Homo-oligomer: A and B are copies of this chain.
Amino acid sequence: MAKQIRYDHFLHGGDYNPEQWLDRPDILKKDIEYFKKAHINTVSVGVFSWAVLEPEEGKYNFDWLEEIINNLYKEGIHTILATPSGARPKWMADKYEEVLRMDADRTRRFFGGRHNHCYTSPVYREKVFEIDKRLSERFGKHPAVLMWHISNEFGGECHCPLCQAEFRRWLKEKYKTIENLNSSWCTTFWSHTYNSFDQIESPSPKGENALHALTLDWKRFVTDRTADFIKHETAAIRAGGSMLPVTANLMYDYDGLDYKKFRDILDIVSWDNYPGWHKKEEYATAIDAGMQHDLMRSIKKAPFLLMESCPSATNWKPINKLKKPGMHLAASLQAVAHGSDSVLYFQLRQSQGASEKFHGAVIDHYGGDDTRVFREVTEVGEALEQIRETLGSEIWSQAAVLYDRENDWALKDAQGPRNEDMHYQENVQKQYRALRRKGCNTDIISMEHELWDYKLVTAPMAYMFHHGYAEKLRTFAQNGGTLVLSYWSGLVDDTDKCYLEGTPHGLTEAAGIRTEEIDALYDWEENHGIPETGNHLGITGTYTCKNLCELAKVSDAEVLMRYGEDFYQGYPVLTHRNYGKGHIYYVAADMEAAFYEDFLGRVADEAKIQVPLAFVPEGVSVTTRETEDIEYLFVQNFARETRTVSVPEDFEVLYGIESENMAPLQTRVLKRKK
């Protein structure tokens, strides 16, 4: 059942904890005044409020919350209402030990922190259901309330007996017979054969930890458990009568969960973005953040919400640097440029104590509005109003990069050529960056995503191929798509079991090559890709490769580049084969970023990918959002110098300067009829 998202302006605001200030009505009043001044129209309340909402078991206290919501609403400020399950009250942990997690060593955690409840515990599920339902009954139809924010930043896992039992049930449902599981998991190795499902235990540093298929299924189970918990909370909300949309705030490149599994259980995706601006050059950080925005957007292939971001400096990184003037505005608009319909913060007012008291906030301990941060937040609010018409517009991409969480899990857990670092994310990002340098909208997809939308798909280090994935890739190319494969691909199936008879599995004929060996390089070593004269892409540069060099045997493919050194000098580094109506490329080594800019730039042209600008200067980020009739162009200069960005004449400026000379951190939003 699709829930209608009913806001009609960009959401601007964020996490707000009035329960910390109930004894300070003067401050609560001042907050509203400040919110309005800063163009804040939305607050998220209730995250971590359980101890105030239910101070003793069964004694509920919602009146304060209603008053807060009403007071805000009177001033035009809406509420995103959170369920409080992210942290439970002390009385509950004391009375019902099972609500607390067990670690992998099978010892139970004590009360403390947050996000550390058992997802299986019947008691916890019952308590959560009850309070969620009551919140839904009380606030689920309140005109101020926009949507439900389920719990907070789901993550972690529990190894308690209840979860073990669930895991066994889950495995039995998946494998049906223990023989099937043994065969899929290759348990004959080291005599780890199971006689029955009852014998299976979750991975542990003190026990089984090298049976990759077990670890992989455990991670899948954890995702499914979490999803089931979200569904449980959603059911409680529905049981309380509210049909408002639900979301959960996801996290940056979090590898504890496979977010693609949340596609159908969240009505809208939201996430929390905390880039470390100014640690590296801003453009590098922008690429990194942009890729996460695109990953989140690609889950549902729809606009998302930026649920949290920091209006100032965080307090939980090793070094928490101030954002330089203009950085906050540029970062906020980058979210919108990549598909966000909101700019929300953690947090509106700084808490007075505990672990996040120095985390940046719109209103700090000083408590005035005459601060740089308050001014820059206000600018964001004003900008969002100026570009209001872009709200809800979509992003359509012709290119996609495969970055699959299951592949990430399997690849990292496998003991292979480099156990120090396989550089998976870095490689994905090098390819993403190359496409973004061209100004292509780019999706970040999983193995489950359909491919027929795209002209170009790159699948770097696709170590694991789900059953049927090779065929999906072949069909994509057959029908005219351009497919870029790489080393360390197609080695194992869903259970991390090696494919026999040649890799990349199912693609050796299509690509015209077969992998023979893979060399791991020490960090101080490198090799080079030397272009073949007359290669059809016209590549002429020599590029460095590091870390991993595959030795592949060509059966039927054009060799575009070859290794320059070592005993495999002359072996192919880059090959190409026409396949059906499309192309298949194979990159055999971990090439430097410049190679991908050169190579994928040419490939994108060959694949006839449309880009909004003929030329994108270095450090500039370009994306488009579209409605059926209008194309919106977002141009942002993340370089440290002024850049001249020429835009087609039919674009008119919606936001930002008229001039094509963009100073560092400037943003322009333009539009044209389609």
Given the complex of chains A and B, what is the CA–CA distance between A286 and B316 in angstroms? 36
Contact of A279 among B186, B187, B496, B522 (CB under 8 A): B522
Which of chain B's residues have a CB closer than 8 A to the CB of A109? 206-207
User: Would A312 and B520 count as touching, CB distance under 8 A?
Assistant: no
User: Would B495 and A201 count as touching, CB distance under 8 A?
Assistant: no
User: Would B503 and A365 count as touching, CB distance under 8 A?
Assistant: yes
Per-residue interface assignment for chain A, residues 389 to 431, with 1 indicating a CB less than 8 Å from any chain B CB and 0 otherwise: 0000000000000000000000000111111100000000000
Say if the beta carbon of A481 comes within 8 Å of chain B.
Answer: no
Contact of A195 among B20, B90, B350, B501 (CB under 8 A): B90
Question: DSSP majority for the A interface?
Answer: loop
Say if the beta carbon of A111 comes within 8 Å of chain B.
Answer: yes
* Closest-CB distance, A352 to chain B (whole angstroms): 5
User: Would A190 and B354 count as touching, CB distance under 8 A?
Assistant: yes
Say if the beta carbon of A29 comes within 8 Å of chain B.
Answer: no
User: Would B520 and A313 count as touching, CB distance under 8 A?
Assistant: yes
Given the complex of chains A and B, what is the CA–CA distance between A114 and B416 in angstroms? 19
Say how many copies of this protein the assembly contains. 3
User: Would B321 and A520 count as touching, CB distance under 8 A?
Assistant: yes
Q: Among residues 257 to 308 in chain A, which have CB atoms less than 8 Å away from a CB atom of chain B? A: 279
User: Would B520 and A188 count as touching, CB distance under 8 A?
Assistant: no
Given the complex of chains A and B, what is the CA–CA distance between A55 and B87 in angstroms? 46
Given the complex of chains A and B, what is the CA–CA distance between A312 and B208 in angstroms? 27
Which of chain B's residues have a CB closer than 8 A to the CB of A417? 313, 315, 319-320, 358
| Interface residue range, chain A | 35 or more
Which of chain B's residues have a CB closer than 8 A to the CB of A192? 51, 87, 90, 112, 354
Which of chain B's residues have a CB closer than 8 A to the CB of A414? 357-358
Given the complex of chains A and B, what is the CA–CA distance between A399 and B183 in angstroms? 54
Say if the beta carbon of A239 comes within 8 Å of chain B.
Answer: no
User: Would B191 and A366 count as touching, CB distance under 8 A?
Assistant: no
Contact of A501 among B91, B186, B366 (CB under 8 A): B366
Contact of A354 among B48, B106, B211, B518 (CB under 8 A): B211
Question: Given that A110-B206, A318-B419, A325-B567 are contacting pairs, would A372 and B190 also be in contact in the complex, using a CB cutoff of 8 Å?
Answer: no
Question: Given that A352-B500, A355-B210, A500-B365 are contacting pairs, would A51 and B313 also be in contact in the complex, using a CB cutoff of 8 Å?
Answer: no
Which of chain B's residues have a CB closer than 8 A to the CB of A605? none
User: Would B191 and A52 count as touching, CB distance under 8 A?
Assistant: yes
User: Would B352 and A416 count as touching, CB distance under 8 A?
Assistant: no
User: Would B212 and A355 count as touching, CB distance under 8 A?
Assistant: yes
Which of chain B's residues have a CB closer than 8 A to the CB of A256? none
User: Would A188 and B19 count as touching, CB distance under 8 A?
Assistant: yes
Given the complex of chains A and B, what is the CA–CA distance between A518 and B371 in angstroms? 13
Given the complex of chains A and B, what is the CA–CA distance between A161 and B364 in angstroms? 40
* Closest-CB distance, A209 to chain B (whole angstroms): 6
* Closest-CB distance, A161 to chain B (whole angstroms): 13
Binding site for B on A (CB under 8 A): 17, 19-20, 23, 48-52, 55-56, 84, 87-91, 94, 103, 105-107, 109-114, 183, 185-195, 199, 201, 203-204, 206-213, 279, 312-313, 315-322, 324-325, 350-359, 365-367, 371-373, 414-420, 491, 495-503, 514, 516-522, 551, 566-567
